[in-house]
Amino acid sequence: MKAARAVGRQSLSELRAAYRATDYVVFEPRLVIRIDQKSSRLERLLRSRGASEWAFVSACNPLSVPTGAARNRAQHRRLARQLRAAGFEALEGEGRPRNKRWNPEPSFLVLGVGRTEAVRIARQYDQMAIVVGKLGGPAKLYGVRYFSTL
């Protein structure tokens, strides 16, 4: 499939817009990450944990095609086990679309993971994109398939 084509029922430009119009919420400590913005709460969290990189990753809805709740739960649990086994601190959260056509998606804020490793993990779950960042910088949407920095 070429990048200009639709994925599932969404074109890549629609997906890009949907990802950008999403709040990436961490439950505890409570914080919200938005694309192309810095978060002072996230900065404090990174410093307190001695981390300089992070990624917001989900295992749900492969290729951005809505999947049943049971499969999404199973994939989320599998990702949690994988992150723990790799020694990452993973904080529960969800991608919360501002457009109510999409449902919230269980996810993790993974502290200390670099973009290359986060992309490798996301590809295992057929994810289209992740959100990544470094200490001192804004959150960036990064395409795992078809596109890079969005």
The pLDDT tens digits for 39-77 are 999 999 999 999 999 999 999 999 999 999 999 999 999
3-state SS, one letter per residue, for the chain: CCCCCEECCEEHHHHHHHHHCEEEEECCCCEEECECCCCHHHHHHHHHHCCCEEEEECCCCHHHCCCCHHHHHHHHHHHHHHHHHCCCEEEEEEEEECCCCCCCEEEEEEECCCHHHHHHHHHHCCCCEEEEEECCCCEEEEECCCCCEC
pLDDT band for position 1 (50/70/90)? very low
Q: What is the pLDDT of residue 101?
A: 79
Kindly report the length of the chain. 150
- Specify whether the CB–CB gap between 105 and 98 falls below 8 A: no
Model pTM score: 0.90
Of residues 9 and 3, which shows the higher confidence score?
Answer: 9
